[in-house]
Structure 1
Amino acid sequence: MAMLNRTHTPELKRTAAPPVTFRQGGVWLVALGAALWGLDSLLRVPLMGAFTSTEIVLIEHLLLLLFAVPAVWIGRRQFQSLSLRHFGAILFLSWGGSGLATVLFTMGFQYGHPSVVLLLQKLQPLFVVLAAKLLLNERLPRGFSLYLLVALGGTYLLTFGLQAPFLGATGGQLTGSLLSIGAAVLWGGSTVMGRYLLTRTNMSFETLTGARFLFAVPLLFGLAVLSGSSLSAMGGEALKAVHLSMFLLLALLPGLLGILFYYRGLSSTPASSATLAELAFPATGVLLNWLFLDKGLTVTQAVGFALIWWVVYQLSVRR
């Protein structure tokens, strides 16, 4: 989601942006937004005992309509000049990036290690670079093939450690990682679609964010019905006060404020500095998972993530 995804992407470089200073606070806003994303697993995992992944994402989006509907209504004139191609990009951004990707991301917590599911989202910039090459005909950074191999090695270590896949690893490890990577692919493609819309149309960031949340709701309703969810039960006894409070926090903190803080800070922060500040995302997520979910990382998994982050940092510096 250019300007709408969950991790920084090299394509969002602003060549005319002023250098960040501590007075401007851009880098701190990036870190704050990234830290809020680290709350995802802490809020989603407890809800999975009472709701399916699709139901969690649907309820989250229904709450986000409080922002989406006014944003789309205020910017409704911006849709009049859009072509079918532009609407197709909006649907990919909404259905793929906001709907399906978030469902896959949530399902990943059901099968895999919560911290691994979070850390694998740092692969998004690689998919953004590939999608930008295919869809926007942008050049690949020099040495991209080597970076891709290093990132794949880091992904292997993060998922399997030093053990051989399909032998010592459990099915949940592989399934959880594949679901998380699938979400990263969709979010990466959404970044390119969002960048395309923000640079080729007159749509504002606020209107596009609202459309992203709003148009995902019909898809999520359909997925919930197909999966056999009882929509009436979702709003009945299953939705207790404690669940509602967690849904509100999920929609408000990582869902809305995290995005707004992050991209407000990114507008005045160089890509390399933003990549450093984004370490607040995995740091917060891993720490909270360890303290509250009793899910720590091994040294090998930490090395795997370090390799992935090094690749992301190098791409940010080179672009």
Structure 2
Amino acid sequence: MENVSNKFKLNSAMRKQAVRPKTGFWLVVLGAALWGADPLFRIILLREQITPTQIVLLEHIIIALFVAPMLWKHRSELKGLKLRHIGALLFLSWGGSAIATILFTLGLTHGNLNAVLLLQKLQPIFAILMARVLLKEKLPKKFGWLLIMALAGTYLLTFGFSFPFGHVNDFVKVGSLLSLGAAALWGGSTVMGRLMVGKMEYETVTSLRFILALPLLIVITINQGDPWHVPSGAGTFAAVTINLLGQALLPGLFSLMVYYKGLTTTKASVATLAELSFPMVGVLINWIAFHELVKFHQICGFVLIWAVLFIISRRSAKEA
């Protein structure tokens, strides 16, 4: 009878372990989907003459107040950190949380909103390249051809079916370049996040991501010297405050908590497909809130990039 009980417990534990990756996948989907709501808050704040750097700084101050007790609770995990862990945390906070968010916010002020959002699907490509350089992971088979396909999709998202060989401003689209910079930094942050989630609890990684970014953001904001525009009317001030809180807590803190929790049990190749919820929700919100319709060349570009990610995911799953 005892053997039957032990077998039942073992089978129950195995079923729970089998369910966890599925749960992790949907947590990644939810976390990435919440990022899609980010432009809704940022664009409203930008209209109130708050600069991108000021928005990101205020966002991090609000989040830091919420995560500071969490970091204090897990402070014992800071012991024994090696230089590579410190470097990964600085990349996560300075690159992925501070600079990338500033670039993304700036990108929203230049060019097509949907292009800025959809270009974020290049993040996994940057993540794969950085994993190859830093973690010595093997590149997927025929990655060169897949990279060309992804670049073709990027071209369609940025320029459409035209040939931008006229004026330099037609060739270099500021919004797209800023979005690509953010995608590169966020793609690298995925690699660093996977490294740190294996070392620390996901709550600690999330806390350090925002708190360590604060000194850099303060220096950048002071160096820029832009004046602070405080809304004069009570209604406007309340609207700005609500938007700041909503942006910081929903697509900011809560989304990353959910995302990192899901990432602990989800393979990077599977998480890549789960993150497709980010641009899709963002484009949907742009359509509903800002009447920004998706153009045919953007759909074509997105399909090309999605196809590349799908092929990479399938090959990674077979090699696992």
- TM-score, normalised relative to structure 1: 0.85
Q: In the alignment, which of 220, 226, 232 is matched to residue 223 of structure 2?
A: 226
Amino acid aligned to 1:181:
L
- What's 2:255 paired with? 258
**Deviation of the 1:178 alpha carbon:** 0.7
Give the 3-state SS of the residue equivalent to 1:111 in structure 2.
Answer: coil
Letter in 1 for 2:310: Y
Please say if 1:43 is aligned against 2:50.
Answer: no
Residues 177-216 of structure 1: matches in 2 within 5 Å? 177-199=176-198, 201=199, 203-216=200-213
- CA drift at 1:133: 1.0
- In 1, Cα distance between equivalents of 2:162 and 2:279: 23
Q: Quote how far apart the aligned CAs of 1:277 are.
A: 4.1
CA distance 1:227–1:195, change in 2 (3 Å): same
Which of 240-249 and 146-155 deviates more?
A: 240-249
Structure 1 vs Structure 2 CA RMSD: 2.6
Change (3 A) 1:250 1:111: same
Task: Please identify, of 35-44 and 207-216, the stretch whose mean Cα deviation from structure 2 is larger.
Answer: 35-44
Which residue of the partner structure matches residue 67 of structure 1? Answer: 66
Structure 2: gaps (5+ residues): 1-15
Q: 1:104 to 1:83 in 2, by over 3 A?
A: same
More helix by share: 2
SS at match of 1:110: coil
Cα distance in 2, alignment partners of residues 98 and 185 from structure 1: 12
2:52–2:106 CA contact under 8 A, matched in 1: yes
Unaligned runs of 5+ in 1: 1-15
2:103, 2:178 within 8 Å by CA — same for their partners in 1? Answer: yes
Q: Which residue of 2 aligns with 1:240?
A: 237
Structure 2: distance between partners of 1:20 and 1:197: 20
Q: What residue is the counterpart of 2:7 in the other structure?
A: none
The DSSP-based 3-state class of the residue aligned with 2:18 is: coil
Residues 194 and 263 in structure 2, CA contact (< 8 A), matched pair in contact too? no
Which of 309, 313, 316 pairs up with 2:313?
316
Which residue of 1 is the match for residue 153 of structure 2?
154
Alignment partner, residue 104 of structure 1? 103
Q: CA deviation at 1:268?
A: 5.0
Question: Is 1:299–2:296 an aligned residue pair?
Answer: yes
Q: Could you tell me how far 1:261 is from its partner in structure 2?
A: 2.7
Q: Can you list the C-alpha shifts for 1:232-270, whole angstroms capped at 9, x where unaligned?
A: x36674981111101111111111222233343455556
Shift of residue 27, structure 1, vs aligned partner? 4.3
Tell me how far 1:161 sits from its aligned partner.
0.2
Aligned residues: 298
Partner of 1:288: 285
Normalising by the residue count of structure 2, what TM-score does the alignment of the two structures yield?
0.84
- Work out the percentage of aligned pairs sharing the same amino acid: 49
Q: Which residue of 1 aligns with 2:78?
A: 79
Quote the residue 2:275 is aligned against. Answer: 278
CA-to-aligned-CA distance 1:205-240 (integer Å, 9 cap, x gap)? 11111011001011111111111134xx36674981
The separation in 1 between residues aligned to 2:87 and 2:267, in whole angstroms, is 31
Runs of 4+ in 1 over 6 A off after TM superposition: none
Task: Give how far 1:68 is off.
Answer: 2.4
1:18 aligns with 2:18: yes
CA shift, 1:54, in A, is 0.4
